[in-house]
Amino acid sequence: MHFAVIVFPGSNCDHDAYHVFRHILDVPVDFVWHGETDLKKYDAILIPGGFSYGDYLRTGAIARFSPVMESIIKEANAGKPVFGICNGFQILIESGLLPGALIVNQDVRFLSQNVSIEVDSTNSIYTRSLKKGRRLTMPIAHKQGNFIADEDTLNMLQDEDRIAFRYSKGRNGNPNGSKKRIAGILNKKRNVLGMMPHPERAAESVLGSDDGIDIFKSIIGVT
């Protein structure tokens, strides 16, 4: 698979994602500037974390109108894997590729800490190699990570098995206050995933956890 890592003004996790693909998994990957308009040659697209356009107006609200987004939406609708992490998740919601909204954390603070999340759905390219209920440790780093949606949307996500990850129960669980402890969701076709925790920052044991690498391995079909 040939991956595209999208780069917006303000992205700061693009190199982390590139490192996972190129130096850990040894698969083809390119940085793609947000001004590009043709992504046909890529097999999968990753929208990294960071603070695109300084989070002005609202997280992801300006990036959603970058030239590259038209192509991302087109490729996603055609079934190509599109993976948004943190700010990438926010951009996917702003673009309409995923439902709901991400608002300010329940305690109105920026959170930078390790969290435990649980695999809730294994029915996607991102989670097919993972066991349902498995706990993964990885960091979060956001102020607007509190996932909300109306009850009908929340019930739809649950009934259609589209909640990919939930924050684990217990002490320090669900630190941002997300509805139904949602940490990551899938679109209806199951080819688009958005999640707030950072698996690319938990891809090597030297980082304190290598749980995140298994999500990337699942994408390329390696167990």
List, for residues 89-99, the tens digit of each pLDDT value: 999 999 999 99
Q: Please write the tens of the pLDDT for every residue from 129-173.
A: 999 999 999 999 999 999 999 999 999 999 999 999 999 997 778
The H or E element spanning position 6 is strand 3-7
Percent of the chain with pLDDT over 70: 99
Across 174-195, average pLDDT? 97
pTM for the model stands at 0.96
Q: Is 204 known to be catalytic?
A: no
Q: Is 200 known to be catalytic?
A: yes
- Assign domain 3-220 one CATH number from 3.40.190.80, 3.30.565.60, 3.40.50.880, 3.20.20.70: 3.40.50.880
Q: How many CA atoms lie within 13 A of 37 on its CB side?
A: 2
- The C-alpha atoms of residue 76 and residue 57 are separated, in whole angstroms, by 25
Cβ neighbours of residue 188 closer than 8 Å, sequence gap 6 or more: 160, 162
Write phi, then psi, for 101 (nearest 5 degrees): -150, 155
Residue among 75, 86, 118, 142 flagged as catalytic? 86
With a cut of 80, say whether residue 124 has pLDDT above it: yes
Residue among 75, 94, 118, 200 flagged as catalytic? 200
Measured CA distances, 45 to 16, 61, 105 (Å):
15, 19, 27
Domain map of the chain by residue range? 3-220
Q: What is the pLDDT of residue 58?
A: 86
Q: Is 13 known to be catalytic?
A: no
